[in-house]
Amino acid sequence: MRTTRMTTTTTTTPPLLLLLSVLLLVSVSAFVEELDDSFMETRAADDIWLIKFYAPWCSFCKQLDPVWHQVGSELKSLGSPVNVGKSDATASSGLAKEFRVRGYPAILMLKKDVKYNYQGPRTKDGILDFANRVAGPLVRSLSSPKLFQHAMSRHDVMIVYVGATSPLKGNFTSAAEELIVHSYFFSAPRDVLPKEVSLPSLPAVLVFKDGTYSTFNEEVDGDLKTWINRERFPNFLKIDSFTLYAMGETEKFVLLALVKKGLCEKSLRFKNLVEKLATELRETYNRFFYFGFMEDSDYIRGLVMDDVIIPSFIVVNLSNDGYFLPLVAVETEHHLQEFLDGVLTGSIQAQGGNGAIQRVRRFIYDTKTTLQVRSVFNLTSCFLNQ
């Protein structure tokens, strides 16, 4: 009988690969510094810090780790003055308390003893834009038409002060101190603006977006900071859950086309209907609505506490967690306009909200959803462990 001897091969990590791994670990730690409770005492007064607070058991924190290291690496390579750190909020509870951390992961920037909270998308580009915006000048000066056009090409929304020192400029600066976490603020002399911009008087504050501009009018628009906050998004955009949540601060309704990823023919038609309405009837609805499309319906499903039809239309009011649904099928721009008019006149009744009964419903829904997720997890674990 022929016997075949089976040999077991033991693999070892090549020394070069091991060395590269160590170097990579060292380089990553050089970009992102681990911070503890001694941070506030040891940091330099002029240092600017971008900090992620995490908990070891937080799965979302772990998902953010690669992005966070990319942020640290890129800021370092660009020569940014921003230092990037992270802190285990469960181990360094004193530092977490200093920054009033309530959930994980939390992203904040510290600049001259002022703390700025980041609430945008957990993406490299979103975090980098926040870091560069807040770390830079509060109000950026545009001293030439070339600089103005360059800024226009880089930013979807620009908030610009035009004129000399005035009480309005003081209000503008105060608004910038709070809203710099969301928007870029600029100042420019009159002759820097495009020739088609008409200003009846100076000083003035303008918002440039969507290929046009709006001028602040205190008699019509009220408080300057409230107006800027209301106008800080493009009129039509692709919306994710972070953006939609932030839109609740604007006190505007949001008309959404809920569409499939990849935009099949029907989804594309729904998206185009919303975009056309936003563009052609901007003057009619701009004061009351933002417009957009959303590919991930999980947030809306949680809002209405039910499944949603894709594609479909919905108007949401994130200031009170309310929403509106069309009374009839929407097939044309005219149908969509009637839907918006019904929301404004009250002929279409709001659903949802944050009243006492609705809060009880939401508690039951959240509990049920959590139990379903746990059941799926436990079932999956059983299969995996067999």
Q: Is the pLDDT of residue 59 over 50?
A: yes
CA 257 to chain centre: 19
Task: Indicate if 61 belongs to the active site.
Answer: yes
Average pLDDT on 141-148 reads 96
312-317 β-sheet, strand order: 236-238, 289-294, 253-258, 312-317, 322-324, 351-352
Q: Out of 28, 58, 147, 152, which one is annotated catalytic?
A: 58
Q: Is the pLDDT of residue 362 over 90?
A: no
Q: What is the CATH number of domain 140-230?
A: 3.40.30.10
The pTM is what? Answer: 0.80
CATH 3.40.30.10 assigned to 236-356? yes
- Rounded to the nearest integer, the mean pLDDT of the chain is 87
pLDDT of amino acid 370 = 52
Whether 29-135 and 140-230 share one fold: the answer is yes
Per-residue pLDDT of 30-49, as tens digits, reads: 689 999 999 999 999 899 99
CB 298 within 8 A of CB 236: no
CB 180 within 8 A of CB 155: no
Query: Tokens 């870091």 — which residue?
Result: 131
Task: Indicate if 264 belongs to the active site.
Answer: no
Q: What is the 3-state secondary structure (H, E, C) of 238-262?
A: ECCHHHHHHHHHHCCEEEEEECCCC
Strand partners, 285: none
Burial profile 212-227: b = 16 or more Cβ within 10 angstroms, e = fewer: ebbebeeeebeebbeb
Strand partners, 245: none
Q: What is the CATH number of domain 29-135?
A: 3.40.30.10
CB 159 within 8 A of CB 142: no
DSSP 37-73: TTHHHHS-TT-EEEEEEE-TT-HHHHHHHHHHHHHHH
Would you kindly state where each structural domain of the chain is located, as residue ranges? 29-135, 140-230, 236-356
Per-residue pLDDT of 9-32, as tens digits, reads: 444 445 665 555 444 444 455 689
Q: Is the pLDDT of residue 6 over 50?
A: no
Per-residue pLDDT of 261-278, as tens digits, reads: 887 899 999 999 999 999
Query: Tokens 């390579």 — which residue?
Result: 77
Per-residue pLDDT of 337-346, as tens digits, reads: 999 999 999 9
Q: Out of 32, 50, 51, 61, which one is annotated catalytic?
A: 61
Q: How many residues does the chain have?
A: 386
pLDDT of amino acid 342 = 97
What lies within 8 Å, CB to CB, of 310 at 6+ separation is: 258, 259, 260, 267, 297
pLDDT of amino acid 357 = 66
Average pLDDT on 309-333 reads 93
